[in-house]
Amino acid sequence: MVTIKNETTSPDRAMETTVEAIAREAGQIALAHFRSLATLPVERKGHLDLVTDADRDVEEFLIASLRKAFPEDGVYGEEGGDITGVSGRIWVIDPIDGTFNFVRGSQNWAISIGLFDNRQPVFGAIFAPARDLMITGGNAIEAQINGNPIPMLPLFDLSRASTGIGLHPSIATEDRLEVLRFISDELRINFRCCGSSALSLVEIAMGETDGYIALGDSTWDVMAGLPILASLGVSHTIDWSRIDLQAKLRFACGSDVFLTRMGPLLDRVSVAA
Residue 94 is assigned to a ligand binding site: yes
Using CB atoms within 10 Å of the CB of residue 173, give its burial: 0 to 12 exposed, 13 to 18 middle, 19+ buried: exposed
Residue 256 is assigned to a ligand binding site: no
CA distance linking residue 104 with residue 121, whole number of Å: 31
Q: In sequence order, what are the residues at sequence separation of 6 or more whose Cβ sits closer than 8 angstroms to the Cβ of residue 86? A: 2, 72
Q: Can you point out the beta strands (E) in the chain?
A: 74-77, 82-83, 90-97, 110-117, 120-128, 133-138, 141-145, 148-149, 162-167, 190-192, 211-218, 235-236, 248-254
Give backbone dihedrals phi and psi of 146, rounded to 5 degrees, phi first: 50, 40
Residue 7 is assigned to a ligand binding site: no
Residue 221 is assigned to a ligand binding site: yes
Residue 185 is assigned to a ligand binding site: no
Annotated binding site for Mg(2+): 78, 94, 96-97, 221
Annotated binding site: 78, 94, 96-97, 221
